[in-house]
């Protein structure tokens, strides 16, 4: 009898236990952020690898990034209700990646507007395989109701959410950075900007198939001119005014070194030998990602 009771209590406990360990980092009186793991999606992090933030605009809360699963968004919203006693009025997703987007299915169910850049439609269409990662490292219960849903508001250069106490500006800092759909979320009154994958800290910068190095550098230089006190990237725990600088410096080195080697007719397989980026070796997954970045940019030059 005791054994049956223990099993029953264990099942009940696990049914009610949170899947994600969400701990807020307070940026300002109006902004809390939750820092994702520095690794790719694993069974341990269950896809929570990108930073997520909440902004109190007065009458409601705006969430930045939907997160990797329906249950992630559900658990975050439970925390929001307990802390603020306010509803979530908007969800902003800063690019098409699964670790940021799939949790939007929760907000869709609750009829909360999902805001994205208009280019996300094409990127989602072309990258269905991107959404096979998290189902592989979560259980059926953990991934339940997680799916790609259509957004509600499609921004272009700028979109403003007006709140009782403050406004949020959704900005397109350049045509592309890590992805074409990358957007930043600026809260002027809090001197804070969430940059998504325009800024990387903690893990190696990724130059991917949708990346554009010139436009990425352009976005970072525009960010530099804004002179904002709190700058939080999509990955990493740094949020000081200088947190964008390593990404900018790395991209400049990547562009300069690969371009020179390409002009000197260095072969693709040898290109990384000519990139002097060892000062960034402290980043997580540097050895795995950096050589591929050089080859990816080489391919861009080859087809330019």
| 102 is a domain residue | yes
Q: Mean of the pLDDT values across residues 152-165?
A: 97
| This prediction's pTM | 0.93
* The predicted structure's pLDDT at residue 19: 97
- Which of 15-19, 28-32, 255-259 is the least confident region? 15-19
The share of the chain scoring above pLDDT 90, in percent, equals 93
What does the alpha-carbon distance between residue 133 and residue 236 come to, in Å, rounded to a whole number?
A: 21
As given in the structure block, the two tokens for residue 133 are: 């990662």
* The predicted structure's pLDDT at residue 16: 62
| 4 is a domain residue | no
pLDDT tier, 45 (very low <50, low <70, confident <90, very high otherwise): very high
| 256 is a domain residue | no
Residue 292 burial (C-beta neighbours within 10 Å; 0-12, 13-18, 19+): middle
DSSP run (H or E) holding 92: strand 88-92
| 61 is a domain residue | yes
Answer yes or no: is pLDDT of 183 > 50.
Answer: yes
What does the alpha-carbon distance between residue 30 and residue 150 come to, in Å, rounded to a whole number?
A: 29
Domain at 226, CATH number = 3.60.15.10
* Average pLDDT along the chain: 94
What does the alpha-carbon distance between residue 292 and residue 265 come to, in Å, rounded to a whole number?
A: 18
pLDDT tier, 304 (very low <50, low <70, confident <90, very high otherwise): confident
DSSP string, 145-188: T------SEEESSEEEEE-SS-EEEEE--SS-SSSTT--EEEEG
* Model pLDDT for residues 89-109, shown as the tens digit of each residue: 999 999 999 999 999 999 999
* The predicted structure's pLDDT at residue 17: 84
| 210 is a domain residue | no
Q: Which residue in 92, 95, 62 sits closest to 77, CA to CA?
A: 62
* The predicted structure's pLDDT at residue 4: 43
Answer yes or no: is pLDDT of 11 > 80.
Answer: no
Other residues' Cβ atoms within 10 Å of the Cβ of residue 65: 31
- How many CA atoms, within 13 angstroms, populate the side-chain half-sphere of residue 274? 21
Q: Where are the alpha helices (DSSP H) in the chain?
A: 2-16, 70-84, 98-101, 104-109, 120-126, 133-137, 140-143, 213-226, 245-263, 286-303
* Model pLDDT for residues 226-246, shown as the tens digit of each residue: 999 999 999 999 999 999 999
Q: C-alpha angle with apex 207: 203 to 213, nearest 5 degrees?
A: 125
Q: How far apart are the first and last CA of the chain?
A: 73
Domain count, the chain: 1
Answer yes or no: is pLDDT of 15 > 80.
Answer: no
* The predicted structure's pLDDT at residue 116: 98
Q: Which domain holds residue 149?
A: 18-200+222-241
* The predicted structure's pLDDT at residue 97: 97
Answer yes or no: is pLDDT of 9 > 90.
Answer: no
């Amino acid at each position: 009898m005791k054994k049956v009771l223990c099993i029953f209590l264990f099942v009940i406990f696990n049914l009610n236990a949170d899947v994600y360990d969400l701990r807020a980092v307070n940026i300002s009186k109006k902004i809390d952020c939750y820092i994702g793991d520095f690794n790719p999606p694993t069974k341990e992090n269950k896809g929570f690898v990108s930073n997520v933030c909440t902004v109190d605009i007065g009458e409601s809360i705006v969430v930045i990034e939907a997160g990797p699963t329906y249950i992630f968004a559900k658990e975050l919203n439970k925390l929001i209700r307990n802390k603020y006693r306010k509803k979530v009025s908007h969800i902003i997703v800063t690019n098409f990646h699964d670790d940021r987007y799939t949790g939007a299915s929760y907000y869709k169910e609750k009829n909360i507007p999902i805001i994205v850049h208009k280019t996300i439609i094409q990127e989602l269409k072309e990258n269905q395989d991107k959404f096979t990662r998290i189902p592989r490292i979560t259980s059926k219960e953990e991934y339940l109701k997680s799916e790609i849903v259509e957004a509600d508001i499609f921004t272009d250069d700028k979109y403003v959410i007006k709140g009782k106490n403050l406004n949020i500006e959704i900005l397109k800092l350049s045509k592309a950075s890590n992805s074409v759909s990358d957007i930043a979320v600026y809260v002027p009154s809090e001197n804070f900007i969430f940059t998504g994958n325009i800024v990387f800290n903690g893990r190696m910068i990724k130059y991917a198939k949708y990346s554009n190095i010139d436009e990425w550098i352009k976005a970072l230089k525009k960010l530099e001119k804004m002179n904002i006190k709190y700058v939080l990237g999509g990955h990493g725990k740094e949020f000081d005014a200088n947190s964008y600088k390593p990404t900018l410096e790395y991209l400049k080195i990547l562009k300069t070194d690969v371009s020179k080697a390409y002009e000197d007719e260095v072969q693709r397989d040898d290109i990384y030998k000519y990139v002097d980026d060892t000062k960034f070796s402290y980043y997580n997954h540097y050895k795995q990602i950096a050589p591929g970045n050089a080859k990816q940019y080489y391919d861009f030059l080859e087809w330019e």
